[in-house]
Structure formats: structure tokens, C-alpha cells
Structure 1
């Protein structure tokens, strides 16, 4: 398990059974999180990171993790911020207070998306069944995050360990995404 997952931010949902459990790959539903979409200008990046509790990455495809906080780079002026579900109000209010008077947009999108954790020695193979990205460690190292398309569904892919990925999709797409991953895994098991 990676250091990023050991931060206890992205954890399996204890109330859910594994979606898939094979010797070479597993899919687990992640526990609910606070998810915030933040857009702001460059001069506000440090203030926002200080208020959030994790620096906002400024490198494309980057992420930053601290104790129970993750900031994911989505674009030159856009981040997804992750925190424990019960800390929504505290995190939101702290960022709003710190950025008071500075142009920004902070939106709670916690109910919009869900996450699954895909892990195991065949995790890369499984993701490549619907995403045309090189997921090798050299090309997509631990900490890398990107938005892309899985078959026809928009997803966020974040590598949190050598063989572990967090896949986020809108709630309305998650059954489609997880269903196709499970179907592809059946082919892997049959091989």
C-alpha cells in the first residue's frame, strides 16, 4: 500500500463489499469524501493551500497530499480538493475566509462524484481496457492525476501507489465504469 493511501484519506468504504476480488486485481468502492472544486488566480495559490492544509500543486498532472488532505491539479487555474467527509464545513469556511476579497470560485461537488480503488499487479492492464494512456510507472508515476475518458465516460485517474489507482466518475457514470472494469476483469480471470 502506498504512503498516499496510508494517509487514511482514500480508504475502502467499510460498508461495501468488494466490487471485484481476484488474486491479480481488486476493485473497492472508496469511502465518501469532501470534494471541492477550486478555481483561482496564481497569486492566490499559496493562500488557498495554507487554508486547505495541503499545498496546491502547480505542475501539470500533479497532486499534493498531507495529513487527510489531497489537492489534485486539474488545469492551470483549477484544483480538486479532497478531505474527510465530516470536514466539509470547516475546510470550505477556512478557504473562503483566507481568500476573502480575492477572485476565486469554490464549489462543493461532494455529491457529484464517487471513487473506486483499483489495485493489484494487473491494475494497469485493467485500466488500459478502456483508457488509452501509458500507465507504466515511468510514464505515469505515483502521484500523477489526469482527467480522461473511460470508454465513453469522463473519469479522473490518480495513481496513488505502484499498483494502485483511484478512479473518480460522476455518480451517474460509476455503474457504467465499474461494470465495464468488472467485465474486463472476467476476461483476465478466464485467460
Structure 2
């Protein structure tokens, strides 16, 4: 059996804004009735945070929940806990209509951090990232360049990005080039 490795094995592009691949992260897609009490209670038990509102991400260290769509959440758990979390979901939601899938090995997790981090993302995504509109906890599922991605503002100068593992190299390169090009001065 092979050892699990992250998409970019912790690669970093240093600079005024640093782009870093975060390594292995447990990620579970959970689809179902997001208003359901059993689902909401289970999510809180697994992550330590409540199900966030539409367009939000709620984090507590390495665990959290991202709102993906009206019937879909992305649960973030430690990588080694993902399989056990799926088992807990299956047990807790038995008899209800849901889908839970461990997508940890199919995704890459990248941090963009520094003084103009929001501008790095703004150059690549069709999202208004002005501080008056997009702040800590805000989440978007969109595109970066030509590929699907999701990101949220973890804190004022730090954004977390998730993309498919198959395009991790492309996304990392886009983010690094955008960071290297410097700020635009409009956010």
C-alpha cells in the first residue's frame, strides 16, 4: 500500500503574499436536508462548529464546514479522521436521504496569505473581494482562471483555496504568478 501524499507536497511560493499548499486535509462532501436536526447535530459533533449560513464557512482550527449549495456542505476534518467520520455519518443519518463521500484525496488545499491576498484572488475570480463585501468567514464556489475552485476568507489577510487535485499545479501557478505580479491597488 502506498503512503498518502498531498497534491503539491507542501510547496510554497514565498513573497509579500505567500502561496502555500497545506498538505493533506480530510474533506467530506455531505448532501442532504441542511435544515434537518440530525444532520446539523452530526455536523457540529464532527467539526465543532455549527452549519454556516449560505455563502459562509465556519472553522475551528483544522476542522470546519463550508456551505457549498442549498443541499451540500463540505466538512473539513483531520485527514486521518475522514474514514471514521464517514462511518459516523452513515450511522447517524441511516434511514434519511443523504450522500456522504470522502473527497480528501481528490482535492488540494492552498493558503494565500499576506497584505494583498484578496487582490491575488480578485485577479483570477469573478467575485467582488472588497473588504466591505467579502470578509472573514465569507465563502465562494467559483472559478480561478479556467477551473472550478472554492475559497473563503479565513482572516483579513488570509484566504483558503480548494480545487481538484488534477488542476492543483495549474491553480498554484496562477496564484503564485498573481502574487508575484503585485497589488493592483483597488481593494
Q: Which TM class, normalised by the smaller chain length? A: 0.7 to 0.9
Q: TM-score, normalised by structure 1?
A: 0.83
Which aligned pairs between 1:1-191 and structure 2 lie closer than 5 A? 16-18=10-12, 20-22=13-15, 24-41=16-33, 42-43=35-36, 44-66=38-60, 68-188=62-182
Cα displacement string for residues 29-88 of structure 1 (whole angstroms, at most 9, x for unaligned residues): 112111100001122432332442334525211122235420110011100001001112
Structure 1 stretches of 4+ moved >3 Å:
53-56
Structure 1: which 5+ runs fail to align? 1-12
Structure 1 CA distance for aligned equivalents of residues 49 and 96 of structure 2: 18
Aligned length: 174
Structure 2: which 5+ runs fail to align? 1-6
Structure 1 CA distance for aligned equivalents of residues 146 and 64 of structure 2: 27
Q: TM-score, normalised by structure 2?
A: 0.84
User: Which residue does the alignment assign to 1:4?
Assistant: none
Q: Is the 8 A contact 2:47 2:76 kept in 1?
A: no
Structure 2 CA distance for aligned equivalents of residues 31 and 64 of structure 1: 20
Which shows bigger deviation, 47-56 or 111-120? 47-56
Residues 53, 130 of structure 1: alpha-carbon distance in 2 compared, 3 angstrom cutoff: closer
Residues 91, 26 of structure 1: alpha-carbon distance in 2 compared, 3 angstrom cutoff: same
Residues 77, 55 of structure 1: alpha-carbon distance in 2 compared, 3 angstrom cutoff: farther
CA RMSD of aligned residues (A): 2.0
